Chain A
Amino acid sequence: MKAIITVIGKDTVGILAKVSDACSKADVNIVEVTQSVLQDMFAMVMLVEISKSNIGFEQLRENLNQVGDATGTKIHIMHEDIFNSMHKI
């Protein structure tokens, strides 16, 4: 199962590292990353493989939320199917 992590907020040092760290600790593989910085706003989208995750989806979300709180960003994780069904025919 693949999920999409989005990180939106003010750009600061180490956001990518902290999110990647949370993923790696949970055995969540990062498949693809795109990021853009518009002025000082940071938007990152990660496609991740969570089938082999060593923690539940809820726990992963909680961990990512903590990273979000620590970095002042808003982090979401959602099932990839949502986006596929809404934006692809």
Chain B
Amino acid sequence: MLETKDILETINMIDNENLDVRTITMGISLLDCINEDIDKACIKVYDKICRSAKDLVKTGEDIQKEYGIPIINKRISVTPIAMIAAPCQSKKIAKFAYTLDRAAKELGVNFIGGYSALVQKGFASGDYALIESIPEALSETEFVCSSVNIGSTKAGLNMDAVKMMGKIVKQTAEITADRNCIGAAKLVVFCNAPEDNPFMAGAFHGVGEADTVINVGVSGPGVVRAALAKGGTGKNITEIADMVKKTAFKITRMGQLVAQEASQRLCVPFGIVDLSLAPTPAVGDSVAHILEEMGLEVCGCHGTTAALALLNDAVKKGGVMASSHVGGLSGAFIPVTEDAGMISAAENGYLDITKLESMTAVCSVGLDMIVVPGDITPEVISAIIADEAAIGMVNTKTTAVRLIPAIGKKAGDELNFGGLLGRGPVMPVRKGSPEVFINRGGRIPAPLQALKN
């Protein structure tokens, strides 16, 4: 029989340390829904999503009840819509967003991702129209999430797309200004976007994927922090890394179990487990607090990047043996507004955008959920995207930018979304104009790291 202490440990993790499966995301290919007539294509898209995912929410709830593990979100990711829209003559590409939104509502999922375009090397048919429609799509829908991949290590950075995305992010915030600029919180700009990521807002179903697939994202920053707290301050850094690995292993095993079970019940192949520490604004569910538990007075002080590098690496090492297939983003997330520790560090001036940028070089995502002043220019947004994408391109890793220009607010004010998206102070950006650089357009050539053949 199992040991009592192990059983009690698991129960304590769930009851007191916010252990959960963050999301079961079903990836659905829409390649067989392509049609020149946008209305016919939308009907096919709606039918396919509703058919494929009809039991997704119920299955998630059943597993949660039977196994006693909280499964927070059930979501859907689809083939980047720019590809589906490519042959459509219609200019009203946003019809696809309305269709996705209706399907999400019908199925009861809380987000649907894939209103996306992959333009790392250039724009193909459908890409321009889709990107231009993003502000409308995110303003008029509730559940749709959008992402644009503007660069990769293999292709370099598409600076025309970078320029365009600065405008789109700003417009999306402006058009949803009456709702706390929520549109921008559903829009991610990627470099090296993963094609099997189950986490929103950046999830989409890559073209190399199977027709349908189940990807699971685990979480548990609270569990890792509690494990370190039990160790006290007497442990050295090697021991800290070991503790994180052991904890990540246990968390991931639970995710693997849920993924296999969901895949079996839905008769959909199991894709990957994403080993991520995804914080929520809830107390005790913060990545910043893990770093502080390691011995930093506050997240953002010198030493934060090193601590985060250790954490990110140990999570992967612990998790990778626990799952048969690992993918997605897999690492520690640092979304500022969604992490109680980061919110407080930012409010008290310990954490700024430049420190966050350096942190993104060693963790799994990027400048995530950062509220910037409403008067920020599109060129500055583009330049922030370019900086972040350059880090991803050179280091052969995923980086993303999800900035929320708080329209009508200035540095020091607060933007409050409520719920999982949390709240955060408006952070100042650096002075000086990158306008000429951004307006040049063109492409940053792929770095030498791309030439591996």
Residue positions of A touching B, CB distance < 8 A: 4, 6, 8, 32, 34, 36, 43, 45, 47, 57-58, 61, 74, 76-88
Give A24 Cβ to nearest chain B Cβ, in Å. Answer: 21
Task: Give every chain B residue within 8 A of A85 (Cβ-Cβ).
Answer: 253-254, 256-257
Cβ contact within 8 Å between A87 and B3: yes
What are 19 A-B contacts with C-beta separation under 8 Å? A4-B7, A6-B8, A36-B4, A57-B66, A58-B65, A74-B15, A79-B66, A80-B2, A83-B2, A83-B10, A85-B254, A85-B256, A86-B6, A86-B10, A86-B253, A86-B254, A87-B3, A87-B10, A87-B250
A32 to B8, CA, bound (A): 16
Q: Which residues of B contact A (CB under 8 A)?
A: 1-4, 6-11, 15, 65-69, 250, 253-254, 256-257
Closest chain B residue to A76, Cβ basis: B11
Complex: A75 Cα to B254 Cα, angstroms:
21
Contacts of A32 in B (CB 8 A): 1
Contact between B67 and A79, CB atoms less than 8 A apart: yes
| Contact in complex: A82, B65 (CB < 8 Å) | no
- Tell me the nearest residue of chain B to A5, going by C-beta: B7
* Of A36, A58, A61, A87, the contact of B2 (CB 8 Å cutoff): A87
Whole-angstrom distance from the CB of A32 to the nearest CB of chain B? 5
When distances are taken between beta carbons in the complex, the residues of chain B under 8 Å from A86 are 6, 10, 250, 253-254
Please tell me which one of the listed residues B10, B15, B65, B257 contacts residue A57 in the complex, with CB atoms under 8 A apart: B65
Residues of chain A within 8 A (CB-CB) of B257 are: 81-82, 85
**Is A6 in contact with B7, judged by CB distance below 8 angstroms?**
yes
Q: A34-B1, A86-B10 are in contact. Are A77 and B68 (CB under 8 A)?
A: yes
Hey, which chain B residues are within 8 Å of A8, CB to CB? 8, 11
A45, B4: Cα distance in complex, Å: 7
Q: Specify the chain B residue showing the minimal Cβ separation from A32.
A: B1
How far, in Å, is B12 (CB) from chain A's closest CB?
9
C-alpha gap A6/B68 in the complex (Å): 12
Are B66's CB and A45's CB within 8 A?
A: no
Give bound CA distance, A76 to B383, whole Å.
52
Write out the residue numbers on chain B whose beta carbons fall within 8 Å of the beta carbon of A83: 2, 6-7, 10
Min CB–CB distance B218 → chain A (angstroms): 12
| 7 A-B pairs with the lowest CB-CB distances in the bound complex, closest first | A78-B68, A87-B6, A79-B67, A85-B253, A85-B257, A86-B250, A83-B2
* CB proximity of B253 to chain A, nearest CB, Å: 5
Tell me which of B1, B9, B67, B253 contacts A78 (CB under 8 A). B67
B4 x A34 contact (CB < 8 A): yes
- B68 proximity list for chain A (CB < 8 A): 76-79, 82
- Report the Cα distance A19→B15, complex, angstroms: 21
